[in-house]
């Protein structure tokens, strides 16, 4: 067994970094649309909703009822059971929005995300929690369950999630101007 793994490898593979805290701005843009009631995978320090399940409570074993749920699971091996639970909870009436790494070669993606969730791939790589650098992987939002049939997208300028009118690529006039795009708005 190799003893001299580099510091960067250790950081990536340590169990502590299996938990990637959701960036507040990204959560806020999602929350404005979905009005979350339950954070199914939280710690008291990083909980995004007044009602949440901790690691000890293990949200996978709880009833998510028909609540509007946010789920940013640990990104280690246990991610599969979390997306399975998200899908199953949505079948029982919950609305579940997951922040997930883009791992399109995994069994969990093919079994419980592809064709089961509405998927939004994030442009660029996000900065999690207290991190100083962008994540070493791409991310996606997977939405399970009933909701308004509106057009959800990420703003190409600021990265926030928004409900698009027509073919808008940015969330606001300010962002549209910042992109320098010359478009006549209707």
List contacts with Zn ion (CB under 5 A): 155, 157-158, 171, 175
Query: Taken in order 122, 124, 130, 136, is the CA torsion positive or negative?
Result: positive
User: By the 8 A CB rule, do 99 and 22 touch?
Assistant: yes
For Zn ion, the closer of residues 38 and 152 by Cβ is: 152
For Zn ion, the closer of residues 25 and 138 by Cβ is: 25
Query: Closest distance between Zn ion and the C-beta of residue 23, in Å?
Result: 14
Rounded to whole angstroms, how far apart are CA atoms 140 and 72? 11
| Gap between the terminal Cα atoms of the chain | 64
For Zn ion, the closer of residues 18 and 25 by Cβ is: 25
For Zn ion, the closer of residues 138 and 158 by Cβ is: 158
Structure tokens at 92: 């029982």
Query: Closest distance between Zn ion and the C-beta of residue 64, in Å?
Result: 30
Query: Closest distance between Zn ion and the C-beta of residue 174, in Å?
Result: 7
Q: Is 2 exposed, middle or buried (0-12, 13-18, 19+ CB in 10 A)?
A: exposed
Query: Closest distance between Zn ion and the C-beta of residue 132, in Å?
Result: 23
Kindly state the helix (H) or strand (E) to which residue 10 belongs, with its residue range.
helix 7-13
């Amino acid at each position: 067994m190799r003893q001299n793994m580099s510091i960067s490898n250790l950081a990536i593979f340590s169990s502590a970094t299996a938990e990637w805290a959701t960036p507040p701005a990204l959560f806020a843009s999602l929350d404005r649309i979905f009005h979350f009631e339950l954070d199914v995978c939280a710690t008291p320090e990083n909980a995004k909703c007044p009602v949440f399940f901790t690691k000890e409570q293990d949200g996978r074993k709880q009833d998510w009822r028909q609540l509007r749920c946010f789920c940013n699971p640990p990104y280690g091996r246990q991610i599969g059971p979390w997306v399975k639970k998200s899908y199953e909870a949505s079948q029982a009436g919950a609305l579940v929005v997951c922040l997930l790494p883009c791992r399109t070669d995994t069994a969990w993606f093919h079994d419980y995300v592809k064709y089961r969730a509405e998927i939004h791939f994030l442009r660029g790589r996000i900065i999690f929690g207290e991190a100083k650098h962008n994540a070493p992987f791409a991310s996606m939002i997977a939405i399970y369950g009933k909701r308004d049939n509106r057009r959800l997208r990420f703003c190409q300028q600021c990265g926030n999630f928004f409900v698009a009118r027509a073919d808008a690529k940015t969330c606001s006039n300010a962002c549209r101007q910042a992109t320098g795009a010359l478009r006549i708005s209707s």
